[in-house]
Amino acid sequence: MVILTLNCGSSSAKYQVFDWNNKDVIASGVVERVTQEGGSITHNARGKNEYKMNHECPNHTIAVELIIRTLTDPEVGVISDMSVIKVVGHRVVHGGNKFSKSVIVTPEVIETFRAVQDLGPLHNPANILGIEAAQKVLPNVPHCAIMDTAWHQTMPDTSFMYAVPYEWYTDYDVRRYGFHGTSFLYTAKRASVILGKKPSETNVIIAHIGNGASMCCVKNGVSFDTSMGITPLEGLVMGTRSGDCDPALAFYMMRKAGLSVDEVDSALNKKSGLLGITGKYADRRDVSKAMEEGDKRSELAYKIETYRVRKYIGAYMAALETKPDALIFTAGVGEFHHIVRAGICKGLEHLGIKLDPRKNEIARTRNAETCISTDDSPIKIFVIPTDEELVLTEDSYALMKGSYDIHTKFTYTFQSPDYVNKGRAEGLKRDLEKNPALADIIVKPRT
């Protein structure tokens, strides 16, 4: 049986095809520049060379049709026809406070997404378009929605409420929602496996650091607090997003520089963060290279970003009211950028977080979970490569079978100490050939 997962953004459509019987990814790819000129698809299938093709996609329906044609193509495809796909899972960024777990898509569910799309104006319209496009192409299979916000519905009101007029919450749903939920769910569950603890007894602090970045305080296995807010703008310094700043800053710039609401919105979301400070770079690799070449603004951007994460670590250690079991790094930067990890952990020794510089430099892989703390560190530091697509896949399968429930009452395959990701196991062999020392820091699940 085959499961298709789709992650439709405003100008892209990512996909993955999972063979449930063999528990293996058989294809993945992305359609880029949807609704824009110069569209293309990049397709990777197991055992075949990467395939790229230019193809205009003026809307998401055509993008999904292109994905389907590619998947069933006699030469580059991986399935004979669409009848083998039994369920489709869709990533939805914002579910508001309406959903605490994944759901099968119904007309009522779609309408709920429309009702809250003002809370996620950059993401939800594209998510809805992707669902509707896939339903047209695959009308006879269940379509499931997996919300980023659902994981955070366990937060207490002291964590999710803002100190603003209470009517804003009751009348307009103003509150902290949080994002990156599927990533936090996966890494929190894997941390429990590595630590040999029940999820309900696991306390960790997770830093999901990519172009977008957020943190999660996981208390007794559930989200207790998170850095992003009503939108993904709040919290950490990101590639192009400002993160935390004085709300009155927007009003000041509107009055001082004559900026419109849309211009301020664009500046804070698309022209700030690392890009805003450096004036050139949103990618940490570019920032690091510029630092090495003596660029002071890049050095400042690096220091501001890492300092912000350190502040959140300290805040979440206080919020846990107990010593955390581990600090976890995940997502692209968290998994590969040892300089950023080093900057974040600098000076945290007095809190029991001791980074081993050698282990930290070695930890560069998406195919294994590693420990980068010193042997005597009271709090472990793990790098756990995230797998959001697997969460989408497993939720969709369970919803189709009727066995799904909220994550505190549901067990994922990756919660088993014996779990093996076949694709990552093969990739790890190649990583070890290039970086043999990696074997010394790979962590094994406790049994």
Residues in the chain: 447
Gyration radius of the chain's alpha carbons:
22
Q: Report whether pLDDT(447) > 80.
A: no
What letter would DSSP give residue 14?
E
Q: In this structure, are 96 and 186 located in the same domain?
A: no
Lowest average pLDDT, out of 26-30, 57-61, 180-184, goes to 57-61
CB 359 within 8 A of CB 368: no
Q: In this structure, are 117 and 204 located in the same domain?
A: no
Tell me, yes or no, whether 439 lies in a domain: no
Q: Report whether pLDDT(134) > 80.
A: yes
Tell me, yes or no, whether 243 lies in a domain: yes
Q: 304 burial class (0-12, 13-18, 19+ CB within 10 angstroms)? A: middle
Tell me, yes or no, whether 126 lies in a domain: yes
Find tokens 């690096």 and name the residue: 302
Domain-ending residue, one of 99, 121, 147: 147
Find tokens 């630092």 and name the residue: 291
Tell me, yes or no, whether 80 lies in a domain: yes
CB 148 within 8 A of CB 91: yes
Q: In this structure, are 265 and 119 located in the same domain?
A: no
Q: Report whether pLDDT(121) > 80.
A: no
Band of pLDDT at residue 76, cut at 50, 70 and 90: very high
Q: In this structure, are 190 and 329 located in the same domain?
A: yes
Under 8 Å CB-to-CB from 278, ≥6 apart: which residues?
287, 290, 295, 297, 298, 301
Tell me, yes or no, whether 57 lies in a domain: yes
Selection from 287, 326, 110 nearest residue 203 by Cα: 326
Find tokens 């790819």 and name the residue: 29
SS3 402: coil
- Give the number of C-alpha atoms closer than 13 A to the C-alpha of residue 394, restricted to the C-beta side: 20
Tell me, yes or no, whether 406 lies in a domain: no
**How many domains does one find in the chain?**
2
Q: Report whether pLDDT(346) > 70.
A: yes
Please state, in angstroms and rounded to a whole number, the distance separating the CA atoms of residues 364 and 17: 26
- The dihedral sign for the CA sequence 11, 290, 292, 245: negative
List the strands of the sheet with 213-219, edge to edge. 222-226, 213-219, 204-209, 326-330, 380-383, 370-371
Selection from 221, 115, 217 nearest residue 158 by Cα: 217
Q: In this structure, are 11 and 105 located in the same domain?
A: yes
What letter would DSSP give residue 272?
-
pTM: 0.94
The predicted model gives 253-258 an average pLDDT of 97
Tell me, yes or no, whether 429 lies in a domain: no
Tell me, yes or no, whether 319 lies in a domain: yes
The predicted model gives 289-305 an average pLDDT of 96
Q: Report whether pLDDT(106) > 90.
A: yes
CB 135 within 8 A of CB 22: no
Structural domain including 133 reads: 2-147
Band of pLDDT at residue 137, cut at 50, 70 and 90: confident
Q: In this structure, are 239 and 344 located in the same domain?
A: yes
- In the predicted model, what is the mean pLDDT of the chain? 94
The predicted model gives 335-343 an average pLDDT of 97
Q: In this structure, are 122 and 216 located in the same domain?
A: no
Residue 280's CB is within 10 A of a number of other CB atoms, namely 15
Q: Report whether pLDDT(135) > 70.
A: yes
What letter would DSSP give residue 58?
S
Q: In this structure, are 269 and 320 located in the same domain?
A: yes
Q: In this structure, are 84 and 189 located in the same domain?
A: no
The predicted model gives 167-195 an average pLDDT of 96
Q: Report whether pLDDT(183) > 90.
A: yes
Q: In this structure, are 111 and 212 located in the same domain?
A: no
Q: Report whether pLDDT(248) > 70.
A: yes
The predicted model gives 154-170 an average pLDDT of 97
Paired strand residues for 143: 88
Q: How much is the pLDDT for 401?
A: 95
CA 341 to chain centroid: 18
Query: What does the pLDDT look like over 434-446, one tens digit per residue?
Result: 999 999 999 988 7
Ordered alpha helix ranges (H), 258-378: 261-270, 273-278, 284-292, 296-320, 331-336, 338-345, 357-362
Q: In this structure, are 336 and 216 located in the same domain?
A: yes
Q: In this structure, are 227 and 347 located in the same domain?
A: yes
Please state, in angstroms and rounded to a whole number, the distance separating the CA atoms of residues 427 and 422: 9
Query: What does the pLDDT look like over 373-418, one tens digit per residue?
Result: 999 999 999 999 999 999 999 999 999 999 999 999 999 999 999 9
Q: Provide the CATH number for the domain around residue 66.
A: 3.30.420.40
The predicted model gives 32-47 an average pLDDT of 90
Please state, in angstroms and rounded to a whole number, the distance separating the CA atoms of residues 338 and 360: 6
Residues assigned a catalytic role: 148
Domain-ending residue, one of 129, 147, 165: 147
Please state, in angstroms and rounded to a whole number, the distance separating the CA atoms of residues 133 and 131: 5
Lowest average pLDDT, out of 133-137, 196-200, 329-333, goes to 133-137
Domain-ending residue, one of 334, 357, 384: 384
